[in-house]
Amino acid sequence: MKKVLVTGANGQLAKCLQDVVTENPTSNYQFLFLDRSQLDVSRKELVETFFFSNQIDFCVNCAAYTAVDLAENEAELAFKANADAVKYLAEECAEQGATLFHISTDYVFDGKSREPYLPEDKPNPINVYGKSKLEGERWALELNPRTFVIRTSWVYSPYGKNFYTTMLRLMAEKDELNIVADQIGKPTDARDLAQYLYDLIVSENHNYGIHHFSGPDQMSWFEFAQKIAKENGFTTQINPIPTSEYPTPARRPMWSVLGD
Ligand SMILES: NC(=O)c1ccc[n+]([C@@H]2O[C@H](COP(=O)([O-])OP(=O)(O)OC[C@H]3O[C@@H](n4cnc5c(N)ncnc54)[C@H](OP(=O)(O)O)[C@@H]3O)[C@@H](O)[C@H]2O)c1
């Protein structure tokens, strides 16, 4: 039986992967979902100890510092979780011959393109979160030859705090919402990404390197909010606003459509 370690088990992607695993029982793979309290991946000694006592075949790194705005003031924490931790995991995976699936982001790009970003395009992150994620990608690819870097974008699910759950809450509370209409990306259902990861694992795919996985449709946050309202029967009035009317500590790429 092959062993699959999933880190960051309390996050939305890991929870969706847990759902996929539960619905596709297999005796060939044993999945081990560990949350931060069980394995803090930013602590080298804990990662080493875990791998010393466990032989792993696949590691799906869903752990990440994902607070894009807070990261501007907590760069050290962001780099610890998004870069240093990936280094530790990649080193241990390399030693054990394990495959590492490292999840990354469209925010490694600056958003100046108007053509979908391809895996081989040059990253140029414009915020601390994006910089920390790019460094993590580089460690993963440099240290473990069996690495998949899966970049995704605008991830949503019913779990935790994300744009989808925030909109549902706000739409239940308010009659009117102002939503940014000049940032364009591809919303990605975490469940679809989890299924994609699961399929890569069980198919024993060896097409290592950088891959892009995002939802099928590109849209603005405003359009995404309209879609969420429609699908959930809300009549909230949604007004389009420019980014300049919704200032945030972290700059975001204006156009971060991923292509593959
Ligand atoms: N959300 C998006 O829109 C988006 C877009 C593009 C890419 N991604 C990437 O997709 C991946 C999954 O993101 P997500 O949306 O599932 O994020 P999430 O819901 O914020 O989950 C991240 C999880 O990582 C855990 N974590 C943070 N630091 C850790 C550490 N040092 N050790 C162990 N666990 C730690 C967090 O634990 P706590 O619960 O204890 O805080 C949290 O449960 C990440 O790599 C992210 O960068 C996300």
pLDDT beyond 90 at 27: no
Percentage of the chain modeled with pLDDT above 70: 100
Q: Is 134 in the pocket of ligand 1 (CB under 6 A)?
A: no
Task: Give the pLDDT band of residue 51 (cuts 50, 70, 90).
Answer: very high
Q: What is the pLDDT of residues 92-125, one digit of tens each?
A: 999 999 999 999 999 999 999 989 999 999 999 9
Encoding tokens for residue 123?
């990253």
Nearest ligand 1 atom to the CA of 61 is 45
Residues counted in the chain: 260
Q: What angle do CA 68, 72, 77 make, to 5 degrees?
A: 85
How many other CB atoms sit within 10 Å of the CB of residue 76? Answer: 11
Q: What is the pLDDT of residues 209-254, one digit of tens each?
A: 999 999 999 999 999 999 999 999 999 999 999 999 999 999 999 9
- Architecture of the 2-160+188-212 domain: 3-Layer(aba) Sandwich (3.40)
Is the Cβ atom of 40 under 6 angstroms away from ligand 1?
yes
**How large a percentage of the chain has pLDDT more than 90?**
97
How far apart, in whole angstroms, are the C-alpha atoms of residue 141 and residue 144?
6
Which phi and psi (to 5°) does residue 185 adopt?
Answer: -160, -170
| Integer Cα distance of 142 and 55 in angstroms | 21
Q: Is the separation of the CB atoms in 117 and 134 below 8 Å? A: no
Q: Which two tokens stand for residue 191?
A: 């469940």
Among the listed residues 160, 165, 260, 157, the one whose alpha carbon sits nearest the alpha carbon of residue 214: 260
pLDDT tens sequence across 217-229? 999 999 999 999 9
The DSSP call for residue 122 is P
DSSP letter for 84, please. Answer: I
Residue of minimum CA distance from atom 40 in ligand 1: 36
Provide the token pair at 10.
């309390």
14 Cα to the center of ligand 1, angstroms: 9
Neighbours of 42 (CB within 10 A): 19
Q: Which two tokens stand for residue 31?
A: 């999945």
Give catalytic status of residue 129 as yes or no. yes
Q: Note the pLDDT tens digit of each residue in 162-205.
A: 999 999 999 999 999 999 999 999 999 999 999 999 999 999 88
Task: Tokens for 93, please give them.
Answer: 């995976």
The gap from C-alpha 234 to its chain's centroid, in whole angstroms, comes to 28
Q: C-alpha angle 1/150/88, rounded to 5°?
A: 70
* pLDDT at residue 10, rounded to an integer: 97
The one catalytic residue in 88, 129, 159, 198 is 129
